């Protein structure tokens, strides 16, 4: 059987969503994604360039490099939690609700790694 595009409940082949609420949540998500996708991409680009720069600086000034890496990873994790925009392959295989939850879990893991790096930075370089 066909599954709802939001919650993955089984539906008939003539429907796309199981209820009006799933359709509303899906449309709200895509509006949210359209509104904030440029901000999300900008923050990701800055963080993903800061990490290799921090690795380069780590070889010369380990405290500065580790601080830069830690804050970039933390910012990347928090951005993914706030803006959980999964890729289309995730949405098609898991459906939207589960894909958003998995994306937020990945963001929480990145934020936890960032916090761990910040703690290690303060322990070893203060």
Residue 110 falls inside a structural domain:
yes
Residue 78, number of CB atoms within 10 A of its CB: 17
Helix, strand or coil, per DSSP, at residue 78: helix
Q: Residue 9: phi, psi to the nearest 5?
A: -75, 150
pLDDT digits (tens, 9 = 90+) for 19-74: 999 999 999 999 999 999 999 999 999 999 999 999 999 888 888 889 999 999 99
Residue 126 has pLDDT above 70, yes or no: no
Q: Residue 2: phi, psi to the nearest 5?
A: -80, 150
Angle between helix 96-125 and helix 62-82 axes, rounded to 10 deg: 160
10 has which bridge partners?
A: 3
Please tell me the predicted confidence (pLDDT) of residue 95.
Answer: 93
C-alpha span between 78 and 72 (Å, rounded)? 10
Domain hosting residue 87, numbered range: 37-125
Helix, strand or coil, per DSSP, at residue 85: coil
Rounded to two decimals, the pTM is 0.88
Work out the mean pLDDT of the chain and round it to a whole number: 93
Please tell me the predicted confidence (pLDDT) of residue 53.
Answer: 95
Residue 43 falls inside a structural domain:
yes
Q: What is the count of structural domains for the chain?
A: 1
**Above pLDDT 90, what percent of the chain?**
75
Residue 24, number of CB atoms within 10 A of its CB: 12
Q: What does DSSP assign to residue 83?
A: S
**Above pLDDT 70, what percent of the chain?**
99
Residue 19 falls inside a structural domain:
no
Residue 6 has pLDDT above 80, yes or no: yes
């Amino acid at each position: 059987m066909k599954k709802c595009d939001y919650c993955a409940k089984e539906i008939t082949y003539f429907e796309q969503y199981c209820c009006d609420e799933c359709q509303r949540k899906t449309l709200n998500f895509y509006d949210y994604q359209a509104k904030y996708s440029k901000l999300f991409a900008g923050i990701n680009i800055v963080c993903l360039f800061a990490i290799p720069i921090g690795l380069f600086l780590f070889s010369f000034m380990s405290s500065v490099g580790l601080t830069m890496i830690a804050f970039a990873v933390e910012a990347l994790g928090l951005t993914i939690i706030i803006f959980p925009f999964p890729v289309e392959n995730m949405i098609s295989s898991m459906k939207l609700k589960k894909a958003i939850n998995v994306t937020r879990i990945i963001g929480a893991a990145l934020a936890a790694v960032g916090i761990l790096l910040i703690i290690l930075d303060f322990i070893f370089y203060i």
